[in-house]
């Protein structure tokens, strides 16, 4: 995680690249903005570190990184019933006590899990104060605060000013105005090959659920059972823009975080680039496409079902079959035909109990989809990244007809940095072309790319003539 610099004499912390030049002996380093805040420092008004994302580089202990990811996804903002989680719940999900979890966070990050969640909520609220015309009361609840009083208290702690004072100081260029929906910036660090990402999504868009027009990715979503629409498009060299059409704003902070995952905006490219740059196979690919990122997903369950369907068929056939499934079991949403959208994807419970006959699926695929949906619904398979890569792969491959390469592909799309579908026919063929390697040699070869094998696989898949990112198979997914 990229560090922040705090100045002892001023009580202010800055992001890297800020123009302030304090004396070196007056500077303290923190890995997170939340850690600097926990130590009593406030955000710089010049560089505005709250506008920049928290990157997870997986260089800290794996459990800490998984905890951070889950906190950013809302693990401490809501419980299973939507009424708020706590550190004990998060610890149980990760397999440790709350006390041990707090100790790990404090040791490695300098802030408790609760402190990190509070900082994330406050930073998100500050961006809304800058970028939108939502009222202060609306922002308090959108950002996950239980009351306006809590919001005011958090702003005073972190920014030393009230929300009203902060909004009065926003810059003219901050405010985003849209004819429809709510516009929000999604900043990222480093390069992003958004065109390659959009091409990937366009080739595999689920009919009715996803649609790509020009450089914009559109999709339907469900927010507490109610339909909405998201649009993602390039806003500038350092940010995408999210246009959200939502039934209500209560879940906005979690909607934004999940939208970031679609394009892997929180993945720090610096650490893998340093390791992979000198590799004779992956290094040249990385230099040719420095902004290529592992494609993410909005809905891990939806993505997994489509990947299961695509195990034995072409990309076009997988799109058709998944579209049929959505038409039968998805929830229709009216008024979206002009956007190329019509349904939300069925939930695990719906799909587990649904009739898949007559869709054109093989019996093996139908059985695998039903079994997978039941396992997700019962929490036997976890798609929230609370478990290790090995555990996830084992739970997926326990289902008949689901191969290890499929499980690794699911993990790769979920954001597991070391997922690597070594037995994928497309990856084997590409490595045969690039390095003259036989399938039996690929597993050993990939060991030198740990713990960034997912990015290595993406670069290798992308190394074809038209620079398209294949899916888990060259002629599938």
**Are the C-beta atoms of residues 221 and 230 closer than 8 Å to each other?**
yes
Catalytic residue from among 14, 44, 47, 65 = 14
Quote the pLDDT of residue 59. 61
d(CA 437, CA 443): 10
Q: Within 10 Å of residue 17's Cβ, how many Cβ atoms?
A: 7
SS (H, E, C) 199-236: HHHHHCCCCECEEEECCEEEEEEEECCEEEEEEEEEEE
Q: Within 10 Å of residue 238's Cβ, how many Cβ atoms?
A: 14
Which pair of structure tokens corresponds to residue 183?
């516009």
Quote the pLDDT of residue 46. 84
Q: Is the N-terminal amide bond of 451 cis, ω within 30° of 0?
A: yes
Q: Which among 142, 132, 123, 346 is positioned nearest to 243, based on CA atoms?
A: 132
Q: Which among 153, 157, 151 is positioned nearest to 128, based on CA atoms?
A: 151
Q: What is the pTM of this model?
A: 0.86
Quote the pLDDT of residue 228. 94
Convert the pLDDT of each residue in 95-150 to its tens digit. Answer: 999 999 999 999 988 999 999 999 999 999 999 998 888 999 999 999 989 899 99
Quote the pLDDT of residue 474. 36
Residue 349 falls in the annotated catalytic set: no
Convert the pLDDT of each residue in 228-238 to its tens digit. Answer: 999 999 999 99
SS (H, E, C) 396-459: HHCCCCCCHHHHHHHHHHHCCCCCCCCCCHHHHHHHHHHHCCCHHHHHHHHHHHCCCHHHHHHH
**Are the C-beta atoms of residues 49 and 33 closer than 8 Å to each other?**
yes
Catalytic residue from among 60, 77, 418, 424 = 424
Which pair of structure tokens corresponds to residue 330?
């998805």
**Are the C-beta atoms of residues 305 and 321 closer than 8 Å to each other?**
no
SS3 state of residue 470: coil
**Are the C-beta atoms of residues 326 and 209 closer than 8 Å to each other?**
yes
Classify residue 267 by its DSSP letter.
B
Convert the pLDDT of each residue in 411-453 to its tens digit. Answer: 999 999 999 999 888 888 888 888 888 888 888 999 999 999 9
Which parts of the chain register pLDDT below 50?
A: 1, 79-83, 465-477
Rounded to 5 degrees, φ, ψ at 52 are -115, 145
Residue 14 falls in the annotated catalytic set: yes
């Amino acid at each position: 995680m990229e560090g922040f610099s705090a100045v002892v004499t001023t009580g202010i912390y800055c992001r890297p690249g800020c123009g302030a030049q304090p004396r070196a002996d007056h500077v303290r380093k923190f890995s997170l903005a939340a850690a600097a805040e926990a130590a009593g420092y406030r955000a710089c008004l010049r560089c505005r570190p709250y506008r920049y994302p928290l990157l997870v580089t997986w260089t800290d202990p794996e459990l800490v990184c998984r905890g951070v990811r889950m906190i950013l996804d809302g693990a401490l903002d809501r419980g299973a019933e939507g009424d708020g989680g706590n550190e004990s719940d998060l610890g149980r999900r990760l397999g440790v006590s709350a006390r041990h979890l707090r100790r790990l966070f404090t040791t490695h990050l300098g802030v408790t899990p609760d402190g990190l969640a509070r900082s994330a909520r406050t930073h998100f609220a500050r961006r809304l104060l800058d970028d939108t015309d939502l009222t202060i009361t609306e922002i308090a609840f959108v950002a996950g605060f239980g009351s306006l009083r809590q919001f005011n208290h958090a702003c005073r702690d972190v920014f030393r000013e009230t929300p009203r004072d902060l909004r009065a100081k926003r810059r003219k260029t901050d405010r985003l105005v849209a004819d429809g929906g709510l516009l929000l910036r999604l900043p990222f660090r480093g390069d992003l090959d958004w065109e390659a990402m959009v091409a990937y999504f366009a080739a595999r868009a689920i009919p009715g659920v996803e649609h790509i027009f020009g450089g914009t990715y559109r999709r339907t979503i469900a927010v507490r059972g109610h339909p909405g629409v998201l649009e993602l498009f390039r806003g500038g060299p350092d940010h995408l823009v999210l246009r959200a059409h939502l039934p209500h704003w209560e879940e906005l902070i979690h909607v934004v975080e999940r939208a970031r995952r679609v394009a892997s905006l929180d993945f720090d490219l610096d650490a893998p680039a340093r390791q992979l740059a000198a590799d004779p196979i992956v290094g040249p690919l990385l230099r040719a496409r420095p902004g290529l990122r592992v494609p993410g997903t909005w809905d891990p369950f939806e993505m997994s079902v489509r990947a299961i369907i695509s195990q034995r068929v072409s990309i076009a056939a997988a799109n058709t079959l998944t579209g049929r499934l959505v038409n039968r079991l998805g929830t229709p949403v009216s008024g979206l035909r002009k956007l190329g959208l019509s349904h939300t994807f069925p939930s695990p419970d719906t799909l587990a109990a649904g009739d898949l006959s007559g869709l054109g699926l093989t019996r093996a695929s139908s059985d695998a989809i039903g079994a997978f949906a039941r396992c997700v619904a019962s929490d036997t398979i976890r798609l929230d990244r609370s478990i290790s890569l090995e555990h996830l792969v084992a739970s997926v491959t326990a289902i008949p007809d689901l191969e290890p390469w499929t499980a690794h592909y699911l993990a790769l799309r979920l954001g597991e940095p070391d997922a690597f579908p070594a037995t994928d026919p497309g990856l084997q063929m590409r490595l045969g072309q690039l390095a003259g390697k036989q399938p039996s040699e690929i597993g050993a070869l990939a060991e030198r790319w740990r713990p960034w094998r997912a990015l290595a696989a993406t670069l290798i898949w992308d190394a074809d003539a038209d620079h398209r990112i294949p899916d888990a198979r060259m002629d599938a997914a």
